[in-house]
Chain A
Amino acid sequence: MPTADIPVIRLQGVTKVYSPGENAVHALAGVDLEIRRGELVAIMGASGSGKSTMMNILGCLDTPTAGRYELDGIDITGLTKNALADLRSLKIGFVFQGFNLLARTTALENVELPLLYDRAGRFAPAASPAPEALRRVGLGERMHHVPSQLSGGQQQRVAIARALVTNPSLILADEPTGNLDSHTSLEIMALFQELNAQGITIVLVTHEPDIAAHAHRVIEMRDGHIVRDARVDAPLDAAAELAQLQVAS
């Protein structure tokens, strides 16, 4: 069991070079970063600054060209593809900009998907945690709807439930509000804040300062470097904002 003082994420001198040679792209050019348990971190930066590359590495979908990445104290250097898949299954939940739900598959089945690949055998088949995960994101009533019957915000909630269901150490969200209107974005941020308050570590990428303002910590990237890493003294409370909007209208 990882102890509280081991950071969830520790990057040391991580680089990622695409197509090495003449036209090499240094998507990450030596990144050091530590994220502790229970943090809610926003990563900002212009397009092409290396945010997605970093998220892919944090999510064990990709490995650094050089440098060291420890996830929950586990050095992922040199791990096989299968070992990386197992780490993803055990420790990571992904939320994507485009939701990435399976079409023509109910919300419940989408959320159950990660349980299929749980090799640690943490979930007894009799007591599926999927319905509870859907209730946590407020979709207890929509379990048997397929994505085409759900709004964008609801689809993203299903995706978040899917990320939650295996009880991961870390939820990674690459532009989770990129396809949503501002009100729905706020709802999703309220959900992230609520989950974070329950102790889940969340790292999200966003373009929008309004969204980033809900995090405890904002990291800004440029050309593969971290150029700013700042605590937010008074993060906005999305739930409160929503309540205010309700009153106003």
Chain B
Amino acid sequence: MKASALVRIATQSILRNKMRTLLTMLGIVIGVAAVIVMVAVGQGAQANIEAQIRGLGTNMLMVMAGSSSQGGVSQGAATFNRLTIEDAEKLEREATLLAAVSPVVFSRGQIIGGAGNWRTAIIGAAPNYQTIRDWPVDSGSFFSAADLRSVRRVTVLGRTVANALFPDADPVGQQIRVRNVPFTVIGVLTAKGQTAGGNDQDDTILIPYTTARAYLSGHFRIGQIIASTFSPGDIPAAQQEIRAIMRESHRIPDGDDDDFTIRNQDDIAAAAQGTTRVMSLLLAAIASISLLVGGIGIMNIMLVSVTERTREIGIRMAIGARGSDVMAQFLVESIVISLVGGLIGLALGFASGVLLAHLTGWAVAMSPQAALIAIAFSAAVGVFFGFYPARKAAALDPIQALRYE
């Protein structure tokens, strides 16, 4: 039998039961739409994270306190604080492969100035921090090596803080109080945006780490030392170099484990993506279940259809249809239902994705691959769930079928 004839017969019989077909299709429509939207949300989140990690800075390396189990980057939680400013200074002095090094000391606290007060992250760093994180200023300047050496009370504001405290004016030159210590604002950073976790990277102020140690000590812990290499190719060697210097600095005997962890951007990306990948897979899996339910709906209706049309099957067989012709007829019918449902679901999925992105501001990445996969998947659902009813139809005995009331 010709494919065109099969499709024509399938379409005719589908159109004969419009309402029923529509309801059956709905399962597939919703399933495919759900898969499209969920995959888009997952991919959007991943793309977001990738962009952010690229935004961390170029050729960046990060040293953190605490050992990590072999290879398990995601488990490298700091067990106790063993990073010191001296570690950072030693790296700065001795490492040959590092272009820039900066300790990162971290605290949260109240700042007062301009329009009011604001609770934010206070980061103490070296001037190199700006180079490593590749973070330009909107106005003013970043603090200098001289500021660091002279332990000056100067600060650079993140965009969010600047907007909160000085909505109308340029904050550069203004005085603010950080934990009641007066500081002069010397610069405002460009906006970096949110992290995937929803953290606002611009909700922060930066001060020289020497100043942090001198004026705000007791509140600070040194979270990380960040560094950058001259080129991406240097990263593996630089990691080795950092490790040697750090072990020496921490006087770790040969054979003992590191009490710090070095991560490069790929490690960070992998850790972050690991979580979102699991999340996207989970979302897609849940969405696939609705597709599965849609498929079962098709199977159910096809079984009803085979029973209803037993006599028709008998007639077709009597006038020369082979079992395979009957099988093809019912298979094509279920494939047409699921494919059309899939196409409608695709359109609905794309529309909902756009709407969702619009309403929530989430990054929603819709890809042609996801569309192709959804279409292939719905056709596969048609084949899979149409197979049993079609085989049942093909196996009918023509004499019995003709006698069926």
A positions within 8 Å CB-CB of B: 56, 59, 61-62, 81-82, 85-86, 88-90, 93-94, 96, 100-102, 104-105, 113-114, 116-119, 162, 166
The answer to whether B319 touches A82 (Cβ under 8 A) is: no
Q: A59-B318, A85-B321, A117-B316 are in contact. List 13 more A-B contacts (CB 8 A).
A: A82-B322, A82-B324, A88-B317, A89-B320, A90-B320, A100-B315, A100-B318, A104-B16, A105-B12, A116-B1, A116-B325, A117-B320, A162-B319
- The answer to whether residues A94 and B319 also contact, given A61-B399, A62-B399 and a CB cut-off of 8 A, is yes
Across the two chains, which residue of chain B brings its CB closest to A87?
B320
Residues of chain B within 8 A (CB-CB) of A104 are 16
Which among B316, B319, B399 has the greatest number of chain A C-beta atoms within 10 A?
B319
Pick from A61, A86, A89, A102: contact of B312, CB under 8 Å: A102
Which among B398, B399, B402 has the greatest number of chain A C-beta atoms within 10 A?
B398
- The answer to whether residues A88 and B316 also contact, given A82-B323, A100-B311 and a CB cut-off of 8 A, is no
The answer to whether A88 touches B325 (Cβ under 8 A) is: no
Report Cα–Cα, A22/B231, bound state, in Å.
Answer: 92
A44 to chain B, nearest CB (A): 21
The answer to whether B399 touches A85 (Cβ under 8 A) is: no
Across the two chains, which residue of chain A brings its CB closest to B5?
A116
A100 to chain B, nearest CB (A): 5
Residues of chain B within 8 A (CB-CB) of A56 are 399
Report Cα–Cα, A217/B319, bound state, in Å.
Answer: 26
The answer to whether A61 touches B315 (Cβ under 8 A) is: no
The answer to whether B319 touches A61 (Cβ under 8 A) is: no
Q: Mark B289-316, 1 if CB is under 8 A from A, else 0.
A: 0000000000000000000000110111
Query: Main secondary structure on chain B at its contact with chain A?
Result: helix
The answer to whether A117 touches B402 (Cβ under 8 A) is: no
Residues of chain B within 8 A (CB-CB) of A117 are 1, 316, 319-322, 325
28 contacts between A and B (CB under 8 A): A61-B317, A61-B398, A62-B399, A81-B322, A82-B322, A82-B323, A86-B322, A88-B317, A88-B318, A89-B319, A89-B320, A89-B321, A90-B320, A93-B319, A94-B318, A94-B319, A96-B402, A100-B314, A100-B402, A104-B16, A114-B320, A116-B1, A116-B5, A116-B321, A117-B1, A117-B316, A117-B319, A117-B322
Residues of chain B within 8 A (CB-CB) of A162 are 319
Residues of chain B within 8 A (CB-CB) of A81 are 322-323
Report Cα–Cα, A114/B318, bound state, in Å.
Answer: 9
Q: Mark B146-172, 1 if CB is under 8 A from A, else 0.
A: 000000000000000000000000000
Report Cα–Cα, A166/B318, bound state, in Å.
Answer: 13
A3 to chain B, nearest CB (A): 24
Residues of chain A within 8 A (CB-CB) of B323 are 81-82, 85
A95 to chain B, nearest CB (A): 10
Residues of chain A within 8 A (CB-CB) of B322 are 81-82, 85-86, 117
Which among A59, A94, A104 has the greatest number of chain B C-beta atoms within 10 A?
A94
B18 to chain A, nearest CB (A): 13
Residues of chain A within 8 A (CB-CB) of B16 are 104
Report Cα–Cα, A116/B322, bound state, in Å.
Answer: 11
Which among A82, A117, A162 has the greatest number of chain B C-beta atoms within 10 A?
A117
Residues of chain A within 8 A (CB-CB) of B402 are 96, 100
- The answer to whether residues A85 and B317 also contact, given A100-B402, A117-B325 and a CB cut-off of 8 A, is yes
The answer to whether B312 touches A85 (Cβ under 8 A) is: no
A60 to chain B, nearest CB (A): 9
Report Cα–Cα, A116/B316, bound state, in Å.
Answer: 10
